[in-house]
Amino acid sequence: MIFAVLLPLLFACFIPFLSRFKDKVHTGIFTFFIPFIIFIYFIRFIGNSFEPIRHTYRWIPSLNINFDFYLDGLSLLFVLLISGIGALVVLYSIYYLSKSERLGHFYVFLLMFMAAMLGVVLSDNVFVLYTFWELTSISSFLLIGYWHFKERSRYGAQKSLLLTVFGGLSMFGGLTLLTVITGTTSIQAMISQSDVILQSNYLPLILIFILLGAFTKSAQFPFHIWLPDAMEAPTPVSAYLHSATMVKAGLFLVARFSPIFSSYEWFFIIVSLVGIVTLCWGSYMAVRQTDLKAILAFSTISQLGMIMAMLGFGTKIAVFAAVFHILNHATFKGSLFMVAGIVDHETGTRDIRKLGGLLTFMPMTATLALFGTFSMAGIPLPFLNGFYSKELFFESTLNLSNATSTFANGLVTIIPYLAVFGSIFTFAYSMYFLFGVFAGPKQLDQLPKKPHEAPLGMLISPIVLVLGVILIGIMPNSVNGSFLAHAAHSINSQFQSQSVAFWHGLSTPFIMSLIVIGVGTLIYVTRDKWANIYQLIPGTRSVNNIYNKGVSGMDTFPHKLTNTYMSGSLKHYMTYIILAIVIGTSTIMFLTNGFSINFSDLADITIIEMVVVLVILIGAVATIFANNNLAIILITGIVGYGVSILFVIYRAPDLALTQLVIETVSVALFLLCFYHLPQLRKRDEKLGSKTLNVIIAISIGSLMTLIGISAHSTNWYESISEYFIEKSLPVGGGKNIVNVILVDMRGLDTLFEITVLGIAGLAIFSLIKLRKNKEAE
């Protein structure tokens, strides 16, 4: 399985080279085969006899972090959606994206995202899951901001990154607590210890942290605000990320950890309440939108809320309805995003106020939209898969068990009514999308381009998805026992099977569907008469305003604070830094009784050491009075070489050698740099300024001296020096202990220090080059 996960990343390395031939062969043609191969590989696991599969690949075994891939019914469902929809999106993008676009960038980002999503749904190790989780945030940021020259694209990309990374860090906290409590990094092992987790005092904190990660990723209220702004991405991105993959990662997370939390009443309360509120709010706001992709964005929010609510219910029928609707939503919503892209591509606008009457110009596209919107609306027709899962949703709201708390019981009572309310607006925005674009009077003078039907290549992908809508609708049980039942069983182990049929008689769920159609039709027809309500709810109060003010405040407040001390004086900056070190360190040392003086067990001091120290002191003091650049550097070098002599006297030749090398290189570099700098000039300072300088110098010097003496005088912890002496030769393969520490035992630290120096060197080189370019101009 690791090859399936890494295949998109490996192929992404070749995309920059393949994109050079984009004028002859569209880069998407090469890319198409990657998700298609992955889909073919995993589809063979579908069957009644399917059993979970585990593969482990060692990564960081010392920290119990390995690539533990676990394929069960739930992960199989998501893997097939990621790869199947991915293949169709790439095929669609070949005709949607012009060859003049930065195709190399686009497909690298897309493959990166695909690999990240595969890693999320297949990982059983919580820290590997988190790694892939954050990779989805980064790659989606790049995809949403693909058209970076648009201000709205940059805004949407930034918003999605801030919210999803915030949620990811929260989730990381929850996963870390789970690891500490259970002593394992395996999700399946955690599930087997669910009793231990449920009895933990940290259970509420764990639940909140993990749900924050899920809610931000799946655009649940009030974290839904990033999804509409993410619609600035190219339509293939919206069809992929925002219908079938990224936004469902949060649903996957909740589903994966449901076996642990489902018996915890607050899990039901929080997840069900957030889900049902998101359903209602998303569907209500969708009717307000005028941009086609914005309508679909809020419709996606509402559909995700419905699925989240069903996962919160946790009953067998609710879990099955959830996984069924995850599949159904991917088919009809993916096709509708592609339809919106086709309309935009062929008319030059997504503004529904300028559209209308396109049925005669785009009959194939209108037909695809008809099936997609009717399925999304849950219209009771036997060839629409959306109706089946919608009716199961209604049934699940009516079969919630009584809870122990009054609040939970009240929630159980109102959930069916809220489900109907949200579904009414779902029906209304579905009809609004369909008839607003393809029916009504033509407005050709409002369109930037003369409308016409899309090329066949662009229609293939939505056709395949609509065929999925129809085939699942006609034969719903064909994907039941061999596919969906395994996914539902992964969430609720008590689930065995669920028969799906179109007609159950005049049942309560069917009556609820009829109410939705009747009232929804009335809502749609009278939209212009009641639309003013949006001026009241939400009016000027919105989560977006809170976000914008928060982000603006994070920028303006630090800016104002910084201006209070940023004077442009290096002397002031050094004063602030040194005072902060002195005050902070002294306070901590004092509060922890860190100051200690003990002169026992010291080596004898001879006249040689005293002379060397005297020379060092004279050199240090002489730097204060020297006015010549080169003289200061040479005197400073005397101090360093004096320290080297002390190392030799006290039998530390390795330290002496290291000090000599560093001191020689430093003096040489300083001489080279200061040769080109202006000569030092004596500064006329007031007595108060000089006094402050003396106080600061004495304070920092005294503090460092006391710390050094205290470090020698205390023995709070066992010294690690014996470990280095013992392991330097057998483990590091070197007799020079200092070098072994720097190169082997602290190799990563040294590597990062070198990296920092390299980055600083590149920055200096860039500044010099920019200055020369300006001078040349």
Of residues 289 and 767, more confidently modeled: 289
pLDDT at 426: 96
Confidence of residue 481 (pLDDT cuts 50, 70, 90): confident
* pLDDT higher than threshold 90 for residue 569: no
b/e per residue 495-531 (b: at least 16 CB within 10 A): beebebebeeeeeebbebbeebbebbeebbeebeeee
Residue 291, beta-bridge partner list:
351
Contacting residues for 619 by C-beta, under 8 A, at least 6 apart: 635, 636, 638, 639, 642
Instruction: Tell me which of 254-268, 426-440, 622-636, 752-766 is least confident.
Output: 622-636
Instruction: Tell me which of 100-104, 136-140, 191-195, 670-674 is least confident.
Output: 670-674
Burial class of residue 580 in the structure, from the number of CB atoms within 10 Å of its CB (0-12 exposed, 13-18 middle, 19+ buried) = exposed
Contacting residues for 628 by C-beta, under 8 A, at least 6 apart: 679, 680
* pLDDT higher than threshold 70 for residue 777: no
Cα→Cα distances 92→103, 152, 333, Å: 14, 24, 15
Q: How far is CA 604 from the centre of its chain?
A: 60
pLDDT at 776: 62
CA atoms within 13 A on the CB side of 473: 26
**What is the secondary structure of 642-696 as a DSSP string?**
HHHHHHHHTT-HHHHHHHHHHHHHHHHHHHHHHHTSPPP------HHHHHHHHHH
Confidence of residue 97 (pLDDT cuts 50, 70, 90): very high
Instruction: Tell me which of 117-131, 422-436, 610-624 is least confident.
Output: 610-624
Instruction: Tell me which of 286-300, 344-358, 603-617 is least confident.
Output: 603-617
Instruction: Tell me which of 350-354, 696-700, 713-717, 771-775 is least confident.
Output: 771-775
Average pLDDT over residues 451-456: 92
Place of tokens 């992404």: 12
Q: Which helix (H) or strand (E) holds 57?
A: strand 53-60
pLDDT at 775: 62
CA atoms within 13 A on the CB side of 284: 19
pLDDT at 215: 96
| Among the listed residues 326, 325, 372, 378, the one whose alpha carbon sits nearest the alpha carbon of residue 512 | 378
DSSP three-state, residue 68: strand
Are the C-beta atoms of 620 and 639 separated by less than 8 Å? Answer: yes
* pLDDT higher than threshold 90 for residue 637: no
Average pLDDT over residues 305-328: 95
DSSP three-state, residue 70: strand
* pLDDT higher than threshold 90 for residue 257: yes
Average pLDDT over residues 169-178: 96
* pLDDT higher than threshold 70 for residue 689: yes
What pLDDT digit, counting tens, does each position of 514-526 carry?
Answer: 999 999 999 999 9
pLDDT at 562: 84
% pLDDT > 90, the chain:
61
% pLDDT > 70, the chain:
98
pLDDT at 570: 81
* pLDDT higher than threshold 90 for residue 591: no
Cα→Cα distances 528→288, 420, 534, 559, 624, Å: 10, 22, 11, 45, 81
Average pLDDT over residues 475-480: 88
Place of tokens 């592609």: 338
* pLDDT higher than threshold 90 for residue 541: no
Question: 60 φ, ψ to 5°?
Answer: -125, 75
Are the C-beta atoms of 586 and 708 separated by less than 8 Å? Answer: no
- Token readout for 257 is 């950890």
Average pLDDT over residues 499-512: 88
Question: What's the CA gap between 9 and 111, in Å, rounded?
Answer: 6
Averaged pLDDT score across all residues of the chain: 90
